[in-house]
Amino acid sequence: MEPGVSAAPSPDVTHPLQGARIILAVSGGIAAYKAADLTSKLVQSGAVVEVILTAGGQEFVRPLTFQALTKRAVHTDTFAPWTGTSFGHITLAREAELLIVAPASANTIAKLALGLADDLLGAVALSTEAPLLLAPAMEHGMYHHPATQEHLATLLQRGATVVGPESGRLASGYEGDGRLVPVETILGRARALLGRDGPLAGKHVVVTAGGTREPLDPVRFVGNRSSGTMGYALAQAAIDCGAEVTLITTTTLSPPVSAAIVAVETAEQMRAAVEQAITGADVLIMAAAVADFRPDQPQQRKIKKRPDQHVMDLRLTQNPDIVASIDRPGLLKVGFAAETDDLVANARGKLTAKGLAMIVANDVVDTIGSAESVATIILPDRPPDELPRMSKQRLAAEIVARLLPLLDPEDTNGA
Ligand SMILES: Cc1cc2nc3c(=O)[nH]c(=O)nc-3n(C[C@H](O)[C@H](O)[C@H](O)COP(=O)(O)O)c2cc1C
């Protein structure tokens, strides 16, 4: 995974996995060993994980692995004695906020689609109101069999979320469809499902991230040190609150799993992508470091140096100011001001000039390309809100929290 972004949330950020009661059902496929990694990452993210091993699952992995990782008994048997206030599948089903089946075997998918309750997972799946997240893994032929496809379609139609499978090398050694998606993808989907009824549910947030690259010739560009970390963290923070997110990015960091990604390079491309994405959007967060200028005449061929050439003049032309140029009623615009001097005064000037609802000001030298940020959040007619140094993930959560009352002023007045 790329530096700066991780599906396992930063420990100082509150997120939907924290404290969530999750059932992880592991069925009988060769990818069952990957479920141990998933369990470990869910636990590290603060989730309370109850593991169910199907009969098939127990052929591949042993309960002790999951018991050690979760510090909880592993569930395998519908008919295990009920104790105290724990009523087997009924208690598991009632307490669950999310049911993940990973890997989901063809057999288990069929049973879930048919509503069979001849094992503990089947009984829990019928009893629970928790959303169902399936990560199928099997041989290419099993996956493409009409029976499996029909069962998956049935489950999707009932509201289940299905991630994968991916194409690639399968356990058999053949290439095909059927690989379990990466554990980070399952974690990201789980995070989005748990957050989906959050305060940004039904809202569309567009985020830009990374530094633009303005071409000089086919191999060189004028750019900046922006890593995109802040924009990616904002996209994740908005997803955590239930938003639909479009992330317009110049970087190749691993994006939040549920974001719609639009890849761009130049300021011009970013402007066009933003204009398209904001149709029907509620919020635009311009976290990208858009180059103020671009080479006036990018060359079609690689620029060659001559031995007697000691200097090269570079003529630049001004790029569009994306956030200032967008004026759509009902769209809440958030800007960033990376400054070296007179931080608050300069940022407040931009807030007014560009019609922003909020601006996040930070010292560019301290912040750009770094994992942390020292930021001041400025809203019209309010004193600046100076935040201490914190991770960009935490800052993203702070920014999103301050956006909520601006979106629904009546709902959250005084909150
Ligand atoms: C070595 C081996 C690997 C298997 N791998 C898979 C698999 O990746 N996916 C799958 O759907 N079934 C696989 N199967 C078949 C299942 O284990 C079998 O259908 C089992 O009944 C599934 O049980 P469960 O769904 O209750 O866990 C495999 C079987 C063997 C012997």
How high is the pLDDT of residue 10? Answer: 59
Q: How far is CA 317 from CA 154, 196, 268, 291, 294, in A?
A: 56, 43, 12, 10, 5
Is the minimum distance from the CB of 58 to ligand 1 under 6 angstroms?
no
Residue 306, burial from CB neighbour count under 10 angstroms (0-12, 13-18, 19+): exposed
Is the minimum distance from the CB of 108 to ligand 1 under 6 angstroms?
yes
For range 303-324, the mean pLDDT: 90
pLDDT digits (tens, 9 = 90+) for 12-69: 667 899 999 999 999 999 999 999 999 999 999 999 999 999 999 999 999 999 999 9
Pairing of strands 332-339, 293-295: unpaired
One-letter amino acid at 291 equals A
For residue 22, what are its two tokens? 């999750």
Is the minimum distance from the CB of 137 to ligand 1 under 6 angstroms?
yes
* Domain housing 144: 21-194
CA 184, CA 287: separation in Å to the nearest integer? 24
Assigned domain for 385 exists = yes
Assigned domain for 12 exists = no
Which of residues 131, 162, 194 is at a domain's end?
Answer: 194
**Out of 107-111, 246-250, 360-364, 375-379, least confident range:** 360-364
What's the whole-model pTM score? 0.88
Kindly write down the DSSP assignment for every residue of 89-148, as one continuous string.
HHHHHHH-SEEEEEEE-HHHHHHHHHT--SSHHHHHHHH--S-EEEEE---HHHHHSHHH
* Residue 55 and residue 119 in contact, taking contact as beta carbons nearer than 8 Å: yes
Is the minimum distance from the CB of 29 to ligand 1 under 6 angstroms?
yes
Mutating to test ligand 1, I would choose from 107, 169, 170 the residue with most ligand atoms within 8 A of its C-beta, which is 107
Assigned domain for 15 exists = no
pLDDT digits (tens, 9 = 90+) for 114-137: 999 999 999 999 999 999 999 999
Could you tell me if 237 and 353 lie in one domain? yes
CATH code of the domain covering residue 248: 3.40.50.10300
Q: What's the total number of domains in the chain?
A: 2
Is 224 among the catalytic positions? yes
For range 227-256, the mean pLDDT: 94
For 12, other C-beta atoms within 10 Å of its C-beta total 10
Could you tell me if 277 and 393 lie in one domain? yes
Could you tell me if 98 and 203 lie in one domain? no
* Residue 134 and residue 162 in contact, taking contact as beta carbons nearer than 8 Å: yes
Which of residues 161, 194, 227 is at a domain's end?
Answer: 194
Residue 294: name the closest of 353, 230, 221 by CA. 221
How high is the pLDDT of residue 3? Answer: 40
* Residue 36 and residue 65 in contact, taking contact as beta carbons nearer than 8 Å: yes
Phi-psi region of 408 (alpha: psi -120 to 50; beta: other; left: phi over 0): beta
Is the per-residue pLDDT at 188 higher than 60? Answer: yes
CATH code of the domain covering residue 172: 3.40.50.1950
Could you tell me if 57 and 142 lie in one domain? yes
Which of residues 194, 212, 244 is at a domain's end?
Answer: 194
* Residue 109 and residue 103 in contact, taking contact as beta carbons nearer than 8 Å: no
CA 115, CA 379: separation in Å to the nearest integer? 53
Could you tell me if 177 and 226 lie in one domain? no
CA 124, CA 120: separation in Å to the nearest integer? 6
**Cα atoms found within 13 Å of the Cα of residue 359, Cβ hemisphere only:** 28
